[in-house]
Structure 1
Amino acid sequence: MSTLHRIEVRPLQDRYARGWHCLGLASQYRDGKAHRLDVFGTRLVAFQGEDGQLRILDGFCPHMGADLSGGCVEGNGLRCPFHEWRWGADGVCDDIPYAKRIPPRAKIKSWAVSEQNHLLFVWNDPEGNPPIAEQAIPRLDACYDGEWAEWELAELKIETNCRELVDNVADMAHFDSVHGAPLDFFSNHFEAHMATQVMRGRSARLSGDSELRTVATYYGPAYQITEMTGAMNGQPIHSILLNCHVPIDQHSFTLRYGVLVKKVPGLSDEQNRAIAQAYVQQAREAFYEDVAIWHSKTRVDNPLLCDGDGPVYQLRKWYEQFYTDVAELPAGLAERKDFIVLESQAEPA
């Protein structure tokens, strides 16, 4: 009997995760234009109506298939560039210039949106259910506090399935081997729709000779916030990192990452902004190190683990909830599950 461990790769589900997905800064959609969104294996369109509200509709006109992101905003709706059918904020066609009557089935999907922390979110649910109240994006007080610099954001297209990114929550070993960040403490905590990673260690990039401490939490399948204390050039830095993704299709996703930095007293706004931009650049370099591996590795559904690895299987079980119909969700999801992987010192408070 063979003792070889054969890699298993099951077919990908033809669905995208249920939950809120971040589309970047809300301000970038407030320019009076229609914005093309290639997400969830389809095309959507985002725009701001005259009432100031941001809306997202299906991106293709069902009349003759035109791309609505090439149209123009009119009132709280969007006018198709092909035959000028106008689609209201609710997705209902309310005007056809050359028609006496509007077909009763002239309606496209209006997607649920949310603005929080100066970011725009879209809700995806393969079952078509409305957003779950308990999974609302939590407010970050730092976003509204003058002692913190504004978001510095960047984005990157990644040519792989988004599960590779989420696996990082439990993948303790790669922080040292890939990013040169040896750890002294590492734990995971899974509860309801949240997955948290607590780390303490060192990073030449983000803490110099000082200790690096992070508490990173996924709120749903695609939006992670990290509270981090580190240092740059000997100056202690308190920052909040944004890591979020939106699937383009099953084999690619848009990664958005950014940072809020608490202003250093005595430095100008320009100097504090430079610190934030430097942190974003450090995040970019770290992500590229992961990307180089993601683009050449294979998907593994049955990873062969050792006693020094994190709770990868438990993380994937937590993550599976977002791809499961609500009626079929297993009991016990709300129960907190703790995994301490490395404990060379006491866990930070």
Structure 2
Amino acid sequence: MSVQGYKIESRPPEARYARGWHCLGLADSYRDGKPHTLDIFGRRLAAFADSSGAIRVIDGHCPHMGADLSTGTVQGDNLVCPFHGWQWGGDGACKSIPYCKRVPPKARIGAWETCEQNRLLFIWHDPEGRPAPPEVAIPRIDACFSDAWSDWAMDEMVIQTNCRELVDNISDMAHFGVVHGAPVDYFANLFENHKATQLMIGRSARLSGDSRLTALSTYFGPAYHITDMSGRMGDQEIHSVLLNCHVPIDLNSFVLRYGVLVKKVPGLSDEQNRAMAQAYVDQARAAFYEDVAIWDNKIRIDNPLLCEGDGPMYQMRDWYQQFYTDVEQVRPSSVARRVVEMNPGNIEPPVLRHVFED
């Protein structure tokens, strides 16, 4: 006779993609005079820079005969279909047809809202078709425009799982010590409106040596995550800004992009500072692969069995669900301010109002 244990609930991912800004990497990488293929949100899109340098994103297939517009050419402000030469503007309207004087009135495809901030390109996704409200605008990072900091050192990878597995990390305190060898002394989460913030104080041989590591991380919406981190390399204090962002390819895979800005160390050459930034990118890659090894072998659990040493996973998922819910149906409790603190190291806790309100 078998003994019945805890019953795991594991539903398939909802057939919907999150409402919010999604980062597509360095904006300048799209300004090469060529169209770029974007396989995101379960569909094919095409990105290109017009004659002013503004980056446009439109639906990727020509409604004339189905050609892939991302394999076409850029001419002025238009993306030219490789099959019959129809020219499509960044607003989604067909501008001209080389063998026809009259453009059919229905010749229009989807055009996607984009923005640039912090030298990065973002695309807005909303299943209801609403434009991005101003209160969710991507905040400026002054370090991106300062000579005292390195440029973004960037990398990316494709991960074969649902993106919720990645976002869980914002509240998963216990995994840092086990998976990443970075035991946590103090941990706090703040959930409010479209932001989820994590304050972690701990130790990491890779990022802080024998010193304390402090990381203040925020998800601005469902997919754009920025961390301000202070650690050490040898006897040198290191201040860095980490980018962790993802765009779903489909319901079971996503592109993860990560990057690092490092505050330049006086006395080091530009080459040495760039090498230091790249070393942090390499460490980030190694850390993400530690997570990937777990994701590749775990199952999706909707009712995780938690203990008192875990982070506030259910509160986090309640906050995260707002991005998969029609705007009018979002529950006020899902976006209300909630703070959860944990102090496994029994250290002197920071005054959170000084941290979370800055």
Confirm or deny a common fold (TM above 0.5). Answer: yes
**Residue identity matched to 2:312:** P
Q: How does 1:197-212 map to 2 (within 5 A)?
A: 197-212=198-213
Structure 1: 4+ residue segments shifted above 6 A: none
Kindly indicate whether the alpha-carbon contact (under 8 Å) linking 1:147 and 1:262 is maintained by their aligned counterparts in 2.
yes
**In structure 1, what is the equivalent of residue 157 of structure 2?**
156
Distance in 1 between residues matched to 2:132 and 2:223, nearest whole Å: 15
User: Which residue does 1:85 correspond to in 2?
Assistant: 86
State the shift of 1:4 in Å: 2.2
Q: Does 1:260 align with 2:261?
A: yes
Alignment of 1:124-203 (within 5 A): 124-203=125-204
Identify the residue that residue 245 of structure 1 maps to in structure 2: 246
AA paired with 2:119?
A: H
Distance (Å, rounded) in 2 between the aligned partners of 1:167 and 1:334: 17
Contact preservation (8 Å) 2:13, 2:162 = no
In structure 2, list runs of 5 or more residues that go unmatched: 352-358
Q: Is 1:341 equivalent to 2:342 in the alignment?
A: yes
Matching residue's letter, 1:73: V
- Is 2:284 the partner of 1:270? no
Q: CA deviation at 1:331?
A: 1.6
Match of 1:281, as an amino acid?
D
What residue ranges of structure 1 are gaps of 5+ in the alignment?
Answer: none
| CA deviation string 1:105-135 (max 9, x = no partner) | 1101110001000000000001111011100
The number of residues matched between the two structures is 349
Q: Could you tell me how far 1:319 is from its partner in structure 2?
A: 0.3
Does the aligned pair in 1 maintain the 2:318–2:334 contact within 8 Å?
Answer: no
Give the Å deviation of 1:3. 6.0
After TM superposition, list the pairs within 5 Å mapping 1:93-108 onto structure 2. Answer: 93-108=94-109
Amino acid paired to 2:26: L
Alignment pair present for 1:222 and 2:223: yes
Does the 8 Å CA contact 2:343/2:349 hold for their aligned counterparts? no
SS at match of 2:210: coil
What is the deviation of 1:38?
A: 0.6
Whole-angstrom CA distance in 2 between matches of 1:15 and 1:347: 39
In 2, the alpha carbon distance for the partners of 1:200 and 1:10 equals 34
TM-score by length of 1: 0.98
- TM-score, normalised relative to structure 2: 0.95
**Residues 23 and 246 in structure 1, CA contact (< 8 A), matched pair in contact too:** yes
Map of 1:235 onto structure 2: 236
Identity of aligned residues (%): 63
Deviation at 1:5, TM superposition (A): 1.1
1:213-263 deviation line (CA, Å, top 9, x unaligned):
000000000000000000112211000000000000000000000100000
CA distance in structure 2 between the partners assigned to 1:23 and 1:218 by the alignment: 16
The Cα of 1:54 is off from its aligned counterpart by 0.7
Whether contact under 8 Å (1:181, 1:203) holds in the other structure is yes
Q: Conserved in 1, the CA contact under 8 Å of 2:216 and 2:227?
A: yes
CA contact 2:319–2:335 (8 Å) conserved in 1: no
**Alignment partner of 1:178: what SS?**
helix
Question: What amino acid does structure 1 have at the position aligned with 2:17?
Answer: Y
Alpha-carbon distance in 2 for matches of 1:335, 1:146? 38
Q: In structure 1, what is the Cα distance between the partners aligned to 2:125 and 2:148?
A: 34
SS at 2:180's partner residue? coil
Q: Give the equivalent residue in structure 1 for 2:74.
A: 73
CA contact (8 A) 1:309 1:341 kept: no
- Residue 129 of structure 1 aligns with an amino acid whose one-letter code is R
* Amino acid across the alignment from 1:215: L
Structure 1 counterpart of 2:355: none
Once residues 80 and 187 of structure 1 are traced to their aligned partners in structure 2, the CA distance between those partners, rounded to angstroms, is 51
| SS of residue in 2 equivalent to 1:218 | strand
Alignment of 1:29-44 (within 5 A): 29-44=30-45
Alpha-carbon deviation of 1:348?
Answer: 3.0
* Secondary structure in structure 2 of the residue aligned to 1:154: strand
String of CA shifts for 1:152-200, please: whole Å, max 9, x gaps: 0000100000000000011001000000001110111100000001000
Structure 1 CA distance for aligned equivalents of residues 330 and 161 of structure 2: 26
**Stretch of structure 1 that moved more, 237-246 or 56-65:** 56-65
CA shift, 1:334, in A, is 4.5
Q: Secondary structure at the match of 2:321?
A: helix
Which residue type is aligned with residue 96 of structure 1?
I
In 1: Cα distance, 2:92 partner to 2:312 partner:
43
Deviation at 1:14, TM superposition (A): 1.2
